[in-house]
Amino acid sequence: MATIYEVAALAGVSPATVSRVFNGVTVSPEKSRLVKDAAAQLSFTPNRAARNLRRQNSDVIALVIPDIENPFFTSMARGVEDVAHAAGYSVVLCNTDEDHQKEATYLHIAVSENMAGVILAATGSASDLSSLVARGRPIVAVDRGIRQYEVDTVVADNRSGGLAATRSLIQQGFTRIACITGPVDVETAQQRSDGWREAMHGVLPDDQIQAYLRHANYRVDGGRDAMIDLLELDQPPEAVFVTNNLMSVGALQVLVSRGLTPPDAGFATFGDLPFASLAPRGITVVHVPARQIGVTAATLLMNRIGGDEQPSRTIVLRNELSTRD
């Protein structure tokens, strides 16, 4: 692998001049020509490790997500990528597997590799952003806010989505509406079920409402287990609102296998069903603009990298509600 010194030697100039050619500083046309020819001849490409060290900066951003197998996050990733790519940045995706330790490792790498910025969908536990902040690296939180840090944040409107979904079920004529939501310590899970609770207020007595709430793990099996559990109640629910896409798959699995599909039973889900085309009809969906979240977050990050110094913002994206025919 050719270095800048070899190029300089071949072109008969100093390394400084070679660097200037590649960084758009004024160099006379003749020397520029010489350098470019030499570089081409040696198929020279600047060593990024060296550049990153000297510049304290790279043109890579990290996108840190908890579950790479969740289409919501991959769809978001596409949004991030499109924007970053257009701005000349590359995106590396880091999967934390909801593991706080892995998250810490990746954030750590982001800092010490001098990455330009981080988009973080945090795991439940409090994330430690101190070293990122200390280095002045921009951070954008997506999907979930980050406790204790003032950072730009892009989220869906969780509470109102939960409210709208539940109200739709009520309008469809259901009364005993259960809710399967995520872990207690996850912000989005809390907010979405809060929306449900608000909608249910007055529809059922408060203690009954509470009895129809289940916390599960935001994955397919969690939705399945919670659904089974709900159906075993003395008075099983007539409808259910599930607060994330994967749990919805699990819950639907159970319902379909028992023939409990709309319009016999009501079903609402927060977040588009993956490959929804195969799901039963009559399901109410709170569409979360995953890709748009990614686009917005990346745009925000690019601005920050570009030197935007405004106080941090929180952007709440509206969801759309629909019921498949």
Partner DNA sequence: CTTGACGGTGAAATCGATTTCTGACAGGGT
Partner DNA sequence: ACCCTGTCAGAAATCGATTTCACCGTCAAG
Q: Kindly list the residues in this chain that would bind DNA in the complex (CB under 7 A).
A: 1, 3-5, 12-20, 22-23, 25-28, 30-31, 44-47, 50-51, 53-56
Nearest to 155 by CA among 320, 298, 294: 294
Q: Identify residues 73-112 at the interface with a second copy (CB under 8 A).
A: 74-75, 77-78, 81, 85, 90-95, 97, 102, 105-106, 108-109, 111-112
Would you count residue 253 as binding a second copy (CB under 8 A)? yes
Residues 6+ apart with CB under 8 A from 214: 178, 179, 180, 181, 226, 229, 230
**Cβ proximity to DNA, 3 vs 261, nearer residue:** 3
Measured from the Cβ of residue 104, the count of other Cβ atoms closer than 10 Å reads 16
CB 157 within 8 A of CB 288: no
**Angle, helices 290-305/71-86, rounded to nearest 10 degrees:** 40
Please state, in angstroms and rounded to a whole number, the distance separating the CA atoms of residues 176 and 168. Answer: 13
Name the binder of 27 from a second copy, DNA, none, CB < 5-8 A by kind.
DNA
Binding mask 279-298 vs a second copy (x if CB under 8 A, - otherwise)? xx------------------
CB 315 within 8 A of CB 279: no
**Token pair listed for 49:** 């490790």
Size of the site for a second copy (CB under 8 A): 54
Binding mask 50-79 vs a second copy (x if CB under 8 A, - otherwise)? x-xx--x-x-x-------xx-x--xx-xx-
Please state, in angstroms and rounded to a whole number, the distance separating the CA atoms of residues 105 and 301. Answer: 21
**Cβ proximity to DNA, 56 vs 277, nearer residue:** 56
Binding site for a second copy (CB under 8 A): 1, 43, 45-50, 52-53, 56, 58, 60, 68-69, 71, 74-75, 77-78, 81, 85, 90-95, 97, 102, 105-106, 108-109, 111-114, 131, 134-135, 220, 249-250, 252-253, 256, 273-275, 277-280
